[in-house]
Structure 1
Amino acid sequence: MNLAGVNLGQPVVVQGKQAMSMQEGQVLHGTIKKLYPDQQAEIQIGGQKLIAKLETPMQAGNTHYFQVTGTQPDVTLKIVSGPIDSKMSMSEQVKQVLEGLKLPQTKEMQQLVAQFIKNDTPLSKEQLIQAEQLLKTSGSTVVKADALAAIQKIIELKLPMNAATLQAVIQGGAKGGFVDALSKFEALLKGDQQLSPTIKQAILQQLLNLKTPLNEQLGSALTGKMLGELLGSKGSAVTNTSLMMGLKEGLNLPEQTNRFNISQNLFNKLPLHSQQAMQQMTKDSLGNTAILPTLSAMVKEHPTWTVEQGKSLQQAITRMQVSPSKEHHQQLTAEVSKQLAATKPALSQLLAQLRTAETTDKPQIIQQLAKAVAAEPSLNLAQKQTIIHALSEVTMKGDAHAFKAVLAAFSEQVGQMTSSSASKQLASLLGLSQQNGEQAFSNMAQKAAQNPSPLIQQLVQTTENQLQANLSSKDFLHAMKQTLQDLGLSLEAKLLDKGQDVTLLKDTLKAHLQNLLNDQPSQSTRQGAEQIIARLNGQQLLSAENGPQQQIIMQIPLQMFGKRTDATLQWTGSKTKDGKIDANFARIMFYLQLDSLAETVIDMQVQSRVVSLTVYSEKNDVKELIEPLKETLKTGLEKHDYQLSGVFIKEFSIPEKTVKQQRQSMELPNEKGLDFRI
């Protein structure tokens, strides 16, 4: 039905609603609210009211579908349906819209129009034609309801209407099944004989990393326990031999290393990072940019600088490399001076200075070491006394004697998993930077897990049990961050960041999967890889930004201690004027698939730093489990200047069909999930 056109004046926005941005060709659902003289009328479309001039008399209260035929100078609408009665069936409404737009009444077109009518989503004739073709070619592997919802989201977010976007939005919107998808893909990969062995091994390694996001903590604890045993000389010869072999393999120590010379060898290899050398190199870089790679390497190898400190310095170095100038040199000099001024000499650096110092300079360095040890929070009183006593014997027993005492103390602390700072100190005593230390400890955990020695296997199991029993919120946060990093989420954006280490970014699952697609995998392996890439891309596409409003979606396939859990986080909030996330107002949804608690949703709302939690669960006894944790939650929030208003428990039910779609069941034998507390 093609009725007369309607010329519209300026829109009148209903208070509290955002004015609609109309585009030519859009089809909108609206109601004629009031009639005025001179054929003027007030039309409401969603929360927006428009004063319109009607060229054909109409009746107040009638609802129609309108098509935008012009936006300048005034918005012009054409009515594409007759009056829509509240009792009119969906099929009748669909028929009227299709006839008004002169579109074919195919099954796919009817499904699309019905989807948009139900959700009151503006659309255009051209979008409907594109969407119909996409729906027809989506194939039997895509559930039609999922495809329709995804197409609606594509139009809402103004995304490209193609098969890749459709798959990404479907996968990105899934609330579960990521762990299963990874397990299924791993099985396909292992059986694929067409794939390059190098690519296959790289992907299998990344899949192994995803299963062990706490390998760094496990590896550091294992290193501490092994070193502590060897330095204490309490074990039997067989025990010491097994531990020494485990350390050599895990930390890539020289073959000639043994329990008698390990401390001396580590002391001799302790790198000396001279502040003066770094400052001089920075100064000389203005006329000699060839030394900048050496300066970059010194930054990477610095034993105490954090990743953030290293990143800011690397950015300054990169600017100088790309565009050498006095301005960039001044920026680099200022950044180096800033970071050096904020850096206290690490124990490892003081020990390295002690090793190379003249005899007359050693008393001063020993005094600095004693003060640093006394102020070290990760050591207990007995350990501090032992080290300070060893420092007093340097003249008689040598510098390496003091180093051994320091190494033994931190090894003991790390082995007991009492402090994360002790782990960083141990890494620096092993001559490793923070980043290299993380990699070395992760390698130690992997090598120990593969070690055939019964002693090492028992040590791994004991340490895993200890780590699991003492799992903290920091460990859980680390596991989430490590998993997202290993997946390669937002890989493309990070590659554009010149401060990022490109080598690390390339060593992610997404980067390796993209390499796989350029190889010659089997069809099933290719489809599995495309599905996982679509999941990662979908999370980015659905993490939309609308002015100050922002939504972030993350799917995290958590795997720890051989247990598997799917977790989806959806954050909705706003930004402050300076572009940062507003921590005072937000809504965060956690969708969890848990073996013990089954499907669980946590809805957290923050208003003016007042937090309320609603837990939706299929289990009746969840209230008894949560009650003892309320006080801990309240105390934890108060530490960050938040107030807990309440924790509410509600039951929810999901239709069986939806549950099956979300879980995309692929049961694996003898594997159980682990319920984590967030």
Structure 2
Amino acid sequence: MTSTSFSSIQTQLSQAIPTNNHAPMKEGQVIHGTIKKLFPNQTAEVQIGNQKIIAKLETPLKAGDAHFFQVTKSAPEVQLKVVSGPLAKGNSIAQQAQQLLQVMNLNKSLEMQTVIQFFLKEQLPISKELLVQAEQLIKQIPPNVTMKSALEAIQKLMELKLPLTTQLFETVMSGKSTNGLQTFIENFKQILQQEATISPGIKNNLLQSLKKVAEPFSLPVAGSLLGKQVETIQNQQAPLSTRLPALQTLKESFILPVQSSLTNPTPPSGKPALPNSAGELITQLIHSTPGEKGAAVELLRNWISMQPLLSNGQKDQVLSQLKEVQPLQLNNINNALLKVFAEQSQLAIFSKDANGLTPKEHLVSLLGKGPTMDMVAQTLRQMTSMSKNTTNITVSQDVLQAEQAVMAQLDGKAFEHAMKEVLKSLGFSYEAKLGSNSEEIRQIALQLKPQLVELLQNHSISAPLRDGAELLLGRMNGLQILSSENGPQHQLLMQVPLEFLGKKMDATLEWNGRMKEDGKIDSDFARIMFYLQLDALKETVVDMQVQNRVVSISLFNHDPRLEEIAKIFKESLKEGLSSVGYKLSGVFVKTFEENHLSSSIKLKTPQPDVLGVDIRI
């Protein structure tokens, strides 16, 4: 997947969105200003960039002249000292830089001249100390890093009021890198597998975290597999050679009790289950007193009738076991629920009900193994591990079918699931959760980022492993540093390494948007851009613009077949957008040359009335 510089959207938004914030003046800072008006007592109105300030001058000056000033006092009033004579009108940035180098007694190295010209052009705060620090950083950049990227990294550090240290500079440079996280993860994994200086426990935990990142669909696959095996052992017509291996796998995975048999494989567990799950309702029914039984049955009946994960036919199957004219048979009710949720764990893998639960979570809860979401996940991982290590051909075929079922259902919900799982496994923002309860902290500790932080505290690890861990951690930290908030204007940078269908890719997300007064995103206006490198279509760009909830989509590609392919999906796209309150105005297929687009695309400066959300994947 190709990726352009993260600075593209940032730069244009800073041009397009005016700000009323005045840059604070710091003592010792050198600024370029023009005298606009003179007042008594050597006070003047000075134009500095886009702002005007009233300042006390140490010497009388003439209105209209431009000078370099040094701030000698910032409060309660700004006091300025002239450090250069009047600057000739029309002086270039290079000429101004030479004059400033001379008056500040700085060396005239190529790096220093480049830095000072950049500072002047971008109107950044100038001091001798900052210029020297920036020069030293520029001298350290490797050959594969452009001067422009390095200067933008310095600018970002200054905007965030962070010190210009080598470590922070490298972190921001890593965040701006077009190399995806996949590259850093693969490099670290290879070094880790050969590392002999850390304990097997630490190595295993890190490898497990990397495995979770690489397998975002592992739990859906496990859910589909569990559904298939429950369905098999419940089917009295299936051959013994099929039912017995499935039963044995579930018992060895500790999903079914050891006393389970083919005649009664899934008795009601009565154990605590996930809130609002099918298992919880069955548990309530089991433990209800005779006086409470009627209310528990009615609650279950209503829940089934309203359950969006089940078809009408499946609802009828379960409800037929709850008819008042027949004696209540808990085994039959439990088996009916297991049957329909085992089916849906294979047919509606990524669907969720109103409480955010998928069919597999209801299925695990009915088996008595899911009082919390973490325990549901642990149960499913046990299932996957046991099934993949089996030598039984039937079970191996079930695993393959489960993987194929997941791949066949890849849609928007599936990718949402994958991205959430990967971000959770990476632990991008674990620092924000450190103040949470102890149980959540224990879960956070199993994420990749906190493990990398802990690993780097170990001084005995090898140099290659340390370098690999620092590169990976720096990449994640760099993306976080580049994410920022400026009043109502928010920016988020994120990169999600995805792996599926044997393919590896990085989804790079760049989001810029205004918040409404209630703190929510103004979704009426948006620009979303997808930069893709596809096997068949090669380089492809999808540019989606939203204005007043009217959506216009432009597809950029060199393949002449794309226009006909796009027509096939236009109606379904129109219906999908309409279902969430948007109107499709059109889908336009263009070549890159028509809009001067390429893999190094620079976004047009968005107009103020269409600002909302900018996402790049």
Q: Does 2:497 align with 1:528?
A: no
What amino acid sits opposite 2:201 in the alignment? T
What amino acid sits opposite 1:557 in the alignment? P
The 5-angstrom pairing of residues 565-644 of structure 1 reads: 565-598=505-538, 600=540, 602=542, 604-613=544-553, 623-644=563-584
Q: How far is the alpha carbon of 1:26 from its aligned partner?
A: 3.4
With over 3 angstroms needed to count, the CA separation of the structure-2 counterparts of 1:100 and 1:628, relative to structure 1, is: farther
Residue 440 of structure 1 corresponds to 379
Q: How far is the alpha carbon of 1:216 from its aligned partner?
A: 2.1
CA contact (8 A) 1:590 1:602 kept: yes
Residue 432 of structure 2 corresponds to 493
Q: How far is the alpha carbon of 1:219 from its aligned partner?
A: 1.4
Aligned length: 571
Q: Deviations over 1:187-233 (max 9, x none)?
A: 11111122221111111111111111122222111111111011013
Q: Does 2:342 align with 1:411?
A: yes
With over 3 angstroms needed to count, the CA separation of the structure-2 counterparts of 1:352 and 1:157, relative to structure 1, is: closer
Q: Structure 2: how far apart are the matches of 1:209 and 1:101?
A: 55
What amino acid sits opposite 2:270 in the alignment? L
Report the 3-state secondary structure (helix = DSSP H, G, I; strand = E; otherwise coil) of the residue aligned with 1:161.
coil
Q: Structure 2: how far apart are the matches of 1:587 and 1:67?
A: 42
What amino acid sits opposite 1:408 in the alignment? K
Q: Structure 1: how far apart are the matches of 2:367 and 2:554?
A: 47
Q: Structure 1: how far apart are the matches of 2:179 and 2:387?
A: 32
Q: Deviations over 1:33-77 (max 9, x none)?
A: 7999999987543322457898566695x7655444433424526
CA contact (8 A) 2:93 2:121 kept: no
CA contact (8 A) 2:54 2:78 kept: no
With over 3 angstroms needed to count, the CA separation of the structure-2 counterparts of 1:143 and 1:196, relative to structure 1, is: farther
Residue 47 of structure 1 corresponds to 50
Q: Structure 2: how far apart are the matches of 1:569 and 1:67?
A: 41
Q: How far is the alpha carbon of 1:491 from its aligned partner?
A: 0.7
Q: Does 2:370 align with 1:430?
A: no
Q: Structure 2: how far apart are the matches of 1:231 and 1:452?
A: 22
Report the 3-state secondary structure (helix = DSSP H, G, I; strand = E; otherwise coil) of the residue aligned with 1:188.
helix
Q: How far is the alpha carbon of 1:530 from its aligned partner?
A: 1.0
With over 3 angstroms needed to count, the CA separation of the structure-2 counterparts of 1:408 and 1:494, relative to structure 1, is: same
With over 3 angstroms needed to count, the CA separation of the structure-2 counterparts of 1:220 and 1:21, relative to structure 1, is: same
Q: Structure 2: how far apart are the matches of 1:603 and 1:225?
A: 41
The 5-angstrom pairing of residues 499-578 of structure 1 reads: 501-519=440-458, 520-578=460-518
Q: How far is the alpha carbon of 1:623 from its aligned partner?
A: 5.0
CA contact (8 A) 2:232 2:242 kept: no
Q: Which moved more, 1:499-508 or 1:467-476?
A: 499-508
Residue 610 of structure 2 corresponds to none
Instruction: Give the counterpart of 1:23 among 3, 25, 39.
Output: 25
Q: Structure 2: how far apart are the matches of 1:59 and 1:235?
A: 96
Q: Structure 1: how far apart are the matches of 2:506 and 2:182?
A: 6
Q: Structure 2: how far apart are the matches of 1:23 and 1:614?
A: 45
TM-score normalized by the length of structure 1: 0.73
Q: Which moved more, 1:206-215 or 1:394-403?
A: 394-403
Q: Deviations over 1:536-575 (max 9, x none)?
A: 2122212111122221111111222332111111111223
Stretches of structure 1 lacking an aligned partner (at least 5 in a row): 1-14, 273-301, 306-345, 659-676
CA contact (8 A) 2:93 2:117 kept: no
Q: Structure 2: how far apart are the matches of 1:622 and 1:116?
A: 45
Instruction: Give the counterpart of 2:411 among 447, 472, 484.
Output: 472
With over 3 angstroms needed to count, the CA separation of the structure-2 counterparts of 1:382 and 1:546, relative to structure 1, is: closer
With over 3 angstroms needed to count, the CA separation of the structure-2 counterparts of 1:390 and 1:57, relative to structure 1, is: closer
CA contact (8 A) 2:322 2:328 kept: no
CA RMSD, 1 decimal: 3.8
Q: Deviations over 1:141-191 (max 9, x none)?
A: 865543332112111221132222112211222344211211121111111
Q: Structure 1: how far apart are the matches of 2:223 and 2:282?
A: 21
Q: Does 2:111 align with 1:83?
A: no
Q: Does 2:462 align with 1:459?
A: no
Q: Does 2:161 align with 1:158?
A: yes
With over 3 angstroms needed to count, the CA separation of the structure-2 counterparts of 1:239 and 1:502, relative to structure 1, is: same
Q: Structure 2: how far apart are the matches of 1:550 and 1:247?
A: 48
CA contact (8 A) 1:480 1:558 kept: yes
With over 3 angstroms needed to count, the CA separation of the structure-2 counterparts of 1:562 and 1:33, relative to structure 1, is: farther
Q: Which moved more, 1:348-357 or 1:27-36?
A: 27-36
Q: Does 2:102 align with 1:99?
A: yes
Q: How far is the alpha carbon of 1:627 from its aligned partner?
A: 4.7
Q: Does 2:173 align with 1:170?
A: yes
CA contact (8 A) 1:27 1:124 kept: yes
Residue 348 of structure 1 corresponds to 279
Q: Deviations over 1:619-656 (max 9, x none)?
A: 67655554544444443333333444555654523579
CA contact (8 A) 2:498 2:507 kept: yes
Report the 3-state secondary structure (helix = DSSP H, G, I; strand = E; otherwise coil) of the residue aligned with 1:304.
coil
CA contact (8 A) 1:565 1:592 kept: no
The 5-angstrom pairing of residues 48-197 of structure 1 reads: 48-49=51-52, 60=64, 65-72=68-75, 73-74=77-78, 76=80, 78-80=82-84, 83=87, 88=92, 90=94, 92-137=95-140, 144-197=147-200
Report the 3-state secondary structure (helix = DSSP H, G, I; strand = E; otherwise coil) of the residue aligned with 1:263.
coil
With over 3 angstroms needed to count, the CA separation of the structure-2 counterparts of 1:107 and 1:79, relative to structure 1, is: same
Residue 231 of structure 1 corresponds to 234
Residue 653 of structure 1 corresponds to 598
Residue 338 of structure 1 corresponds to none
The 5-angstrom pairing of residues 203-222 of structure 1 reads: 203-222=206-225
Q: Structure 2: how far apart are the matches of 1:386 and 1:201?
A: 45
With over 3 angstroms needed to count, the CA separation of the structure-2 counterparts of 1:369 and 1:566, relative to structure 1, is: closer
With over 3 angstroms needed to count, the CA separation of the structure-2 counterparts of 1:424 and 1:566, relative to structure 1, is: same
What amino acid sits opposite 1:161 in the alignment? L
Q: How far is the alpha carbon of 1:442 from its aligned partner?
A: 4.2
Q: How far is the alpha carbon of 1:375 from its aligned partner?
A: 4.1
Report the 3-state secondary structure (helix = DSSP H, G, I; strand = E; otherwise coil) of the residue aligned with 1:195.
coil
Q: How far is the alpha carbon of 1:579 from its aligned partner?
A: 3.7
Q: Structure 1: how far apart are the matches of 2:347 and 2:227?
A: 8
CA contact (8 A) 1:216 1:439 kept: no
What amino acid sits opposite 1:194 in the alignment? T
CA contact (8 A) 1:228 1:411 kept: yes
* Sequence identity percentage: 36
Stretches of structure 2 lacking an aligned partner (at least 5 in a row): 1-16, 354-358, 603-615
With over 3 angstroms needed to count, the CA separation of the structure-2 counterparts of 1:534 and 1:355, relative to structure 1, is: same
With over 3 angstroms needed to count, the CA separation of the structure-2 counterparts of 1:503 and 1:596, relative to structure 1, is: farther
Q: Structure 2: how far apart are the matches of 1:366 and 1:40?
A: 84
Instruction: Give the counterpart of 1:304 among 247, 250, 275.
Output: 275
What amino acid sits opposite 1:380 in the alignment? S
